[in-house]
């Protein structure tokens, strides 16, 4: 086939290897900075079934690095927007878009339909969920994660190799909860790390080269230094996951997405019984203007619970929504009732307030 | 013994450098960390792994390398 000619003429791949690719089923969790290049290369390579799950929508600030999207994708679900671009890239493969959030209830069934799972998510809660679901369904996990100018890549749960929990047994504390939208990231970095992940996927399918199993590759975009560290498999960590196999479906996200109600700024802007609470650190911009806002940084939330209104509904926001969920879980632990997460981040809230004020003036 | 310590990710921000050499008299990684916790109190709030000789090792490991890497898990994507 003309399309895959440059693969087929490689003696390491050939028609036989290309057939293996066309029979393979790969699920990519997250169509963000990492997910975009992963999906792009797997689709171009002719992986027969590519799945993509993402609940999020495309925002302008994504376009600096999420290369499958353009201005015409703004406001659309990422999984669906990715599918529409990928279908144009390769119309000979099956692309399944799941416009929903991966959770303990849908992960096992979904992973069961694929051969390899790729982690392109942006939070620890989902990363641990993906690892555990991969252990339970016995699927290899191609892991990638980034921070500012650095990235990590590994292949977990492959050929009796270590799992994510063998490398990172302890779920990080609140201090590490910042993500790209809060700390920033060099646009090309997820391109590099995601492409390394796509490479590992292809190697696993084709059975060529040395897969990064039992190794954690650390890359620094500023120095071009690559450090490869060995990881040992821990039977204890492995068994811990399998112990919870039977009640896996009943679990809920602990810190992030669990027990809270999510609301939109659109629904509460002109309601008087809401107190807006900004839990970003004091230095973080932009300031939300046009409504009274109580600022209490997440790190000090527990010390300033008295600033919260007893009678009003509390609407909490941060830069992107990730820390808000942590804040809600703290508030719940302290028996503070009537708390909601605003699903939009500070910039979007500002934009919406500005737009609605303009509308009022024009009217 | 002079040991080079490399700080990855947000740890470099806590230590305000990407690597440094320190004169260390103890023998185990846990002792080295105790010294670093005194030097950089912000390190206590961080989750990180330790590697020597290109291998992730438990904290009770005896130091056998002149280079120790401290790396935090990344969550971004």
- Contacting residues of B for A127, CB less than 8 Å apart: 75
Whether a cis peptide bond, with omega within 30° of 0, leads into A111 is no
Task: List, for residues A297-341, the tens digit of each pLDDT value.
Answer: 998 898 899 899 888 888 999 988 778 878 887 887 787 877 888
Same domain, A267 and A158: no
Residue among A79, A124, A114 at smallest CA distance from A204: A114
Query: CATH number of the domain that A139 lies in?
Result: 3.40.50.720
Query: CATH number of the domain that A338 lies in?
Result: 3.40.250.10
Strands of the sheet containing A261-263, edge to edge, are A261-263, A339-342, A313-317, A274-278, A293-295
Chain B nearest-CA distance from A180, in A, is 6
Cross-chain residue pair B77–A144, CB shorter than 8 Å: yes
A270 contacts: CB under 8 Å, gap ≥ 6:
none
Task: List, for residues A83-96, the tens digit of each pLDDT value.
Answer: 999 999 999 999 99
Query: CATH number of the domain that B64 lies in?
Result: 3.10.20.30
Please give the tally of structural domains in chain B. Answer: 1
Q: Does A258 score more than 70 pLDDT? A: no
A124-137 and A235-243 helices, crossing angle to 10°: 90
Within a domain: B12: yes
Tokens at residue A200, please? 């590992």
Same domain, A23 and A157: yes
Within a domain: A255: no
Cross-chain residue pair A228–B73, CB shorter than 8 Å: no
Q: What values do phi and psi take at A67, rounded to 5?
A: -75, -5
Within a domain: A319: yes
Task: List, for residues B24-72, the tens digit of each pLDDT value.
Answer: 999 999 999 999 999 999 998 899 999 999 999 999 999 999 999 999 9
- Contacting residues of A for B73, CB less than 8 Å apart: 124, 145, 152, 168, 172, 176
The vertex-A89 CA angle with A86 and A91, nearest 5°, equals: 85
Q: Given this model, what pLDDT does residue A119 score?
A: 98
Within a domain: A292: yes
Residue B77, chain A, CB below 8 Å: the answer is yes
Domain-ending residue, one of A231, A250, A269: A250
Count other Cβ atoms within 10 Å, centred on residue A250.
9
Residue A147, chain B, CB below 8 Å: the answer is yes
Enumerate residues 164 to 203 of chain A having a beta carbon within 8 A of any beta carbon in chain B: 167-168, 170, 172-173, 175-177, 179-180, 183, 185, 190
User: What domain range includes position B54?
Assistant: 2-71
Within a domain: A256: no
Q: Which residue has the tokens 């416009």?
A: A99
Q: What values do phi and psi take at A115, rounded to 5?
A: -95, -35
Interatomic CA distance for residues A66 and A33, integer angstroms:
5
Same domain, A281 and A211: no
Cross-chain residue pair A150–B8, CB shorter than 8 Å: yes
Q: Which of B8, B46, B77 sits opposite A218 (nearest CB)?
A: B8
The model carries a pTM of: 0.78
Within a domain: A11: yes
Same domain, A85 and A194: yes
CA dihedral sign of residues A188, A192, A198, A202: positive
Task: List, for residues A172-196, the tens digit of each pLDDT value.
Answer: 865 455 555 568 999 999 999 999 9
| Least confident window among A53-57, A80-84, A310-314, B14-18 | A310-314
Same domain, A11 and A156: yes
Same domain, A246 and A266: no
Mean pLDDT score, A26-47: 98
Same domain, A219 and A288: no
Same domain, A20 and A89: yes
Alpha helices in chain B (DSSP H): 11-15, 29-39
Domain-ending residue, one of A194, A227, A250: A250
Within a domain: B77: no
Mean pLDDT score, A4-33: 98
Within a domain: A86: yes
CA A214 to the chain's CA centroid: 23
Q: Does A101 score more than 70 pLDDT? A: yes
Within a domain: B25: yes
Within a domain: B48: yes
User: What domain range includes position A357?
Assistant: 261-362
Within a domain: B18: yes
Residue B10, chain A, CB below 8 Å: the answer is yes
Same domain, A342 and A201: no
Same domain, A200 and A274: no
Question: How large is the ipTM?
Answer: 0.95
- Adjacent-strand bridge partners of A340: A261, A315
Domain-ending residue, one of A250, A276, A299: A250
Same domain, A294 and A146: no
Average pLDDT, chain A: 91
Please give the tally of structural domains in chain A. Answer: 2
Same domain, A151 and A239: yes
How does residue A10 score in pLDDT terms, banded at 50, 70 and 90?
Answer: very high
Q: Are A135 and A242 in contact (CB under 8 A)?
A: yes
């Amino acid at each position: 086939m003309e399309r895959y000619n440059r693969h087929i003429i490689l003696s390491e791949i050939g028609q036989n290897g290309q057939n293996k690719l066309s029979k393979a089923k790969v699920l990519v969790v997250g169509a963000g900075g990492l997910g975009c290049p992963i999906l792009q290369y797997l689709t171009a390579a002719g992986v027969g079934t590519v799945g993509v799950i993402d609940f999020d929508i495309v925002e302008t600030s994504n376009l600096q690095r999420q290369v499958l999207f353009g201005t015409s994708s703004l406001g659309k679900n990422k999984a669906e927007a990715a599918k529409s671009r990928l279908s144009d890239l390769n119309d000979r493969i099956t692309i399944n878009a799941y416009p929903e959030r991966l959770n303990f209830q849908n992960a096992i069934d979904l992973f069961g339909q694929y051969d390899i799972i790729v982690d392109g998510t942006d939070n620890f809660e989902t990363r641990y969920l993906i690892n555990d679901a991969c252990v339970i369904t016995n699927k290899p996990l191609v892991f990638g994660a980034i921070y500012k100018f650095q990235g990590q890549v590994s292949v977990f749960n492959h050929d009796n190799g270590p799992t994510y929990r063998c490398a990172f047994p302890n779920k990080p504390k609140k201090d590490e909860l910042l993500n790209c939208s809060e700390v920033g990231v060099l646009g090309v970095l997820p391109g590099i790390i995601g492409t390394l992940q796509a490479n590992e996927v292809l190697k696993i399918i084709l059975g060529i080269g040395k897969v990064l199993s039992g190794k954690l590759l650390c890359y620094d975009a500023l120095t071009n230094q690559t450090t490869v560290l060995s990881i040992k498999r821990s039977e204890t960590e492995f068994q811990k996951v399998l112990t919870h196999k039977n009640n896996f479906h009943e679990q809920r996200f602990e810190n992030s997405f669990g027990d809270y109600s999510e609301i939109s700024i659109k629904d509460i802007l002109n309601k008087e019984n809401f107190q807006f609470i900004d839990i970003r650190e004091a230095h973080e911009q932009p300031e939300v203007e046009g409504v009274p806002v109580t600022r209490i940084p997440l790190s000090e939330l527990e010390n300033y619970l008295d600033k919260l209104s007893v009678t009003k509904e509390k609407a909490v926001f941060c830069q992107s929504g990730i820390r808000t969920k942590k804040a809600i879980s703290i508030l719940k632990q302290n028996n503070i009732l009537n708390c909601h997460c605003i699903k939009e981040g500070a910039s979007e809230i500002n934009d919406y307030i500005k737009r609605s004020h303009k509308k009022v003036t024009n009217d | 013994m002079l040991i080079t310590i490399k700080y990855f990710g947000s740890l470099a921000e806590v230590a305000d450098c990407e690597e440094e050499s320190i004169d260390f008299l103890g023998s185990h990684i846990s002792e080295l960390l105790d010294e670093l916790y005194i030097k950089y109190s912000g390190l206590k709030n961080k989750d990180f792994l330790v590697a020597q000789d290109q291998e992730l090792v438990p904290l009770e490991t005896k130091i056998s390398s002149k280079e120790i890497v401290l790396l935090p898990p990344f969550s971004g994507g």
